[in-house]
């Protein structure tokens, strides 16, 4: 009966009922604080293998777990006197990618309020929500925090304000969602930003020829300015790997660490001040040796004196707080990856689909084909391919006016759920005239977009593309079909769930097209039915081809 009652409630109603039961239980037993048996205060919550702790834990052989009121003389609060990026301090755990995402919450207070579902600190618990596998998931934790007896601070992430608890508690909830804290030791800022916002992420490799061209003509600088003005979350890193493809540790000669996530807070183009292009960057490490940039426009750098009133214009003071300004040329020279999490206002339309590649719908990659107009033996051979791509799920998108469209294809998170590793995936956007028919063959001229092209075909959780679509083409009404697929040519077809999200600046229509029906027949070619190939070796049409079954 209890399970049936819970099943009829929304997820938030379920978590509300759970917290009501917790508080009723505390009152009945005269206990002051709730204890979470699912995420206990021991090594099973800290490490993947408690018998083999990671290297970063060697200096902390004994870990205490303390409640908030044991760590501060003031009254513990979820948020104390507002939030600022400087509030967030990284501990010994290598989760700067997550904390870099947390820093963005200082500039988006509404996101933080959305993540804190229930504040039960006074009763020893808190409920947070994160966006995972296409939906918001609630996570409840007790308030026992891993504590460093050596440093006299929380062992992992914490706030600079001793009474403020949202940072360590949110990190704990995220660790519980993934199984333990150690799983968070290394990760992608693009993943963290989406998990705390529900937005969609795009990653930019600044070393590609395409991005180098956008940097040289100034368009990428303008893009970043627009992203921040629109309230998007932006991060950056310097990805450096050794010959074996492993990430290197260390830093450049001016303080920027390799493979470390930084937050991008502001961009200023001061045309009246020597045409300066400056970016404000933050390190989740906060203050401390080696946490700040030491090049031009670093704190106390002489370049500040060369431009009158520059510090006043930027409202900037010199502090060892993990925050600094650097000029565009230096920023480009020291960072090669940019992560953008796009958030959307309520005026945008949003569509979310839980799909699956399974059985017949696991159609695999799109075959390499030549243009239909190419009259060559090679071209015809490619068009005769016996692919299954058209069996993939298909979704028809219709716009009625010029519309900006952002399409995101996401896989199940490899750290939660089935814990299967990511695979290369792709999606294609094809322009069509029919409102009803599925795609079976595609003219190259009608391919509007392929999400993964060339070297982009690698395993990643989410792949996102932005495009502007028109309702007509060559004065005729058109529609668009989205076809998501797995990649990996020559490998067996993989069955997986996926999450397709579409965001449109104008009202649009998104409909899933009916699945294909597959039947098998056994037959033989006889003298009268053996028609041969459609095109002969000279590239000419074979008139007998129509005799085939």
Note whether residue 520 is domain-resident: no
Pair (338, 358) in one structural domain: no
Residue 307's nearest CA partner among 331, 282, 275, 267 is 275
**Block residue for tokens 């090594």:** 43
Tell me if 365 sits within 8 A of 489, measured CB to CB.
yes
Note whether residue 530 is domain-resident: no
Tell me if 277 sits within 8 A of 327, measured CB to CB.
yes
Q: What is the predicted pLDDT for the residue at 227?
A: 93
Pair (87, 137) in one structural domain: yes
Please, what's the b/e burial string for 38-60 (b: 16 or more CB within 10 A of its CB; e: otherwise)?
ebebebebbbeeeeebbeebeeb
Domain that holds residue 55: 14-197
Pair (166, 237) in one structural domain: no
**Block residue for tokens 């502007």:** 468
Tell me if 384 sits within 8 A of 505, measured CB to CB.
no
Tell me if 390 sits within 8 A of 484, measured CB to CB.
no
Q: What angle do CA 173, 178, 181 make, to 5 degrees?
A: 70
pTM of the predicted model as reported, rounded to 2 decimal places: 0.84
Pair (172, 217) in one structural domain: no
Report how far Cα 152 is from the mean position of its chain's Cα atoms.
34
Q: What is the predicted pLDDT for the residue at 368?
A: 66
Tell me if 200 sits within 8 A of 500, measured CB to CB.
no
Q: What is the predicted pLDDT for the residue at 321?
A: 79
* Separation between Cα atoms, residue 481 and residue 431, nearest integer Å: 7
Q: What is the predicted pLDDT for the residue at 382?
A: 43
* Separation between Cα atoms, residue 468 and residue 480, nearest integer Å: 12
Query: Can you list the residues of the chain whose pLDDT is less than 50?
Result: 370-372, 374-386
Note whether residue 4 is domain-resident: no
Look at residues 175, 197, 219 and tell me which one is the last residue of a structural domain.
Answer: 197
Helix (H) or strand (E) holding 204: strand 200-205
Residue 159's nearest CA partner among 85, 218, 237, 251 is 85
Q: What percent of the chain has pLDDT over 70?
A: 92
* Separation between Cα atoms, residue 269 and residue 278, nearest integer Å: 7
Pair (45, 178) in one structural domain: yes
**Block residue for tokens 């180098």:** 212
CATH number of the domain that 280 lies in? 3.90.70.10
Note whether residue 289 is domain-resident: yes
Note whether residue 549 is domain-resident: no
Strands (E), 330-424: 337-342, 349-357, 395-399, 403-411
Q: CB 377: neighbour CB atoms within 10 A?
A: 12
Tell me if 426 sits within 8 A of 463, measured CB to CB.
yes
Q: CB 173: neighbour CB atoms within 10 A?
A: 22
Note whether residue 546 is domain-resident: no
Pair (39, 182) in one structural domain: yes
* Separation between Cα atoms, residue 13 and residue 341, nearest integer Å: 29
Note whether residue 233 is domain-resident: yes
In the DSSP assignment, the letter for residue 77 is B
CATH number of the domain that 441 lies in? 2.60.120.380
Pair (354, 327) in one structural domain: no
Tell me if 332 sits within 8 A of 215, measured CB to CB.
yes
Pair (188, 230) in one structural domain: no
Q: What is the predicted pLDDT for the residue at 376?
A: 44
Pair (44, 155) in one structural domain: yes
For 295, 442, 449, the CA distances from 390, given in Å and listed in that order, are: 54, 9, 16
Output the DSSP codes for 484-514. EEE--TTSPPPPEEEEEEEEESS-EEEEEPP
Pair (158, 63) in one structural domain: yes
Note whether residue 525 is domain-resident: no
In the chain, how many domains are there? 3
* Separation between Cα atoms, residue 119 and residue 98, nearest integer Å: 21
Pair (85, 149) in one structural domain: yes
Pair (191, 211) in one structural domain: no
Residue 336's nearest CA partner among 186, 215, 255 is 215
Q: What's the token pair of residue 362?
A: 């696991």
């Amino acid at each position: 009966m209890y399970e049936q009652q819970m099943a009829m409630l929304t997820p938030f109603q379920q978590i509300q009922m759970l917290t009501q039961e917790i508080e009723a239980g505390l009152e009945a037993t005269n206990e002051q604080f709730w204890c979470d048996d699912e995420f206990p205060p021991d090594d099973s919550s800290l490490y993947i293998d408690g018998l083999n702790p990671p290297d970063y834990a060697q200096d902390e052989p004994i870990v205490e777990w303390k409640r908030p009121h044991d760590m501060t003389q003031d009254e513990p609060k979820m948020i104390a006197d507002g939030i600022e990026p400087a509030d967030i301090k990284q501990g010994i755990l290598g989760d700067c990618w997550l904390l870099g995402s947390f820093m963005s919450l200082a500039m988006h207070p509404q996101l933080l309020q959305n993540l804190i579902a229930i504040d039960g600190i006074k009763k020893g618990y808190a409920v947070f929500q994160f966006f995972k596998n296409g939906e918001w998931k609630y996570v409840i934790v007790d308030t026992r925090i891993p504590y460093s007896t050596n440093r006299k601070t929380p062992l992992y992430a914490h706030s600079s304000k001793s009474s403020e608890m949202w940072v360590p508690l949110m990190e704990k909830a995220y660790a519980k969602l993934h199984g333990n804290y150690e799983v968070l030791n290394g990760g992608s800022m693009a993943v963290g930003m989406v998990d705390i916002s529900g937005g969609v992420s795009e990653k930019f490799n600044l070393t590609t020829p395409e991005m180098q061209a956008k940097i040289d003509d100034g368009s990428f600088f303008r893009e970043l300015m627009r992203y921040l003005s629109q309230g998007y979350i932006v991060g950056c890193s310097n990805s450096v790997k050794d010959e074996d493809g492993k990430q290197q540790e260390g830093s450049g000669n001016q303080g920027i660490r390799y493979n470390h996530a930084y937050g991008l807070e502001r961009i200023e183009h001061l045309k009246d001040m020597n045409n300066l292009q400056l970016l404000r960057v933050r390190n989740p490490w906060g203050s401390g040796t080696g946490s700040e940039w030491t090049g031009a426009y670093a704190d106390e750098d002489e370049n500040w004196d060369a431009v009158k009133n520059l510090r006043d214009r930027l409202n900037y003071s010199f502090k060892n707080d993990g925050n600094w300004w650097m000029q565009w040329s230096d920023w480009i020279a020291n960072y090669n990856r940019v992560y953008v999490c796009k958030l959307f206002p309520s005026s945008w339309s949003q569509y979310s689909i839980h799909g699956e590649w399974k059985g017949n719908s696991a159609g695999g990659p799109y075959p390499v084909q030549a243009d239909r107009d190419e009259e060559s033996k090679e071209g015809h051979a490619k068009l005769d391919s016996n692919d299954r791509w058209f069996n993939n799920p298909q979704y028809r998108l219709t716009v009625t006016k010029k519309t900006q469209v952002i399409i995101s294809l996401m896989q199940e998170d490899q750290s939660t759920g089935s814990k299967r590793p990511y695979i290369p995936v792709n999606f294609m956007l094809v322009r069509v005239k029919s409102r009803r028919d599925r795609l079976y063959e595609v003219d190259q001229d009608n391919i509007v977009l392929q999400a993964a092209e060339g070297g982009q075909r690698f395993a990643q959780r989410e792949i996102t593309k932005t495009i502007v679509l028109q309702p007509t083409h060559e004065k005729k009404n058109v529609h668009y079909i989205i076809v998501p697929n797995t990649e990996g040519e020559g490998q067996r077809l993989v069955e997986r769930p996926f999450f397709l999200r579409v965001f449109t600046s104008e009202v649009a229509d998104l409909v899933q097209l009916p699945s294909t029906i597959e039947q098998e027949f056994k037959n033989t070619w006889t003298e009268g039915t053996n028609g041969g190939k459609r095109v002969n070796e000279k590239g000419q049409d074979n008139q007998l081809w129509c005799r085939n079954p």
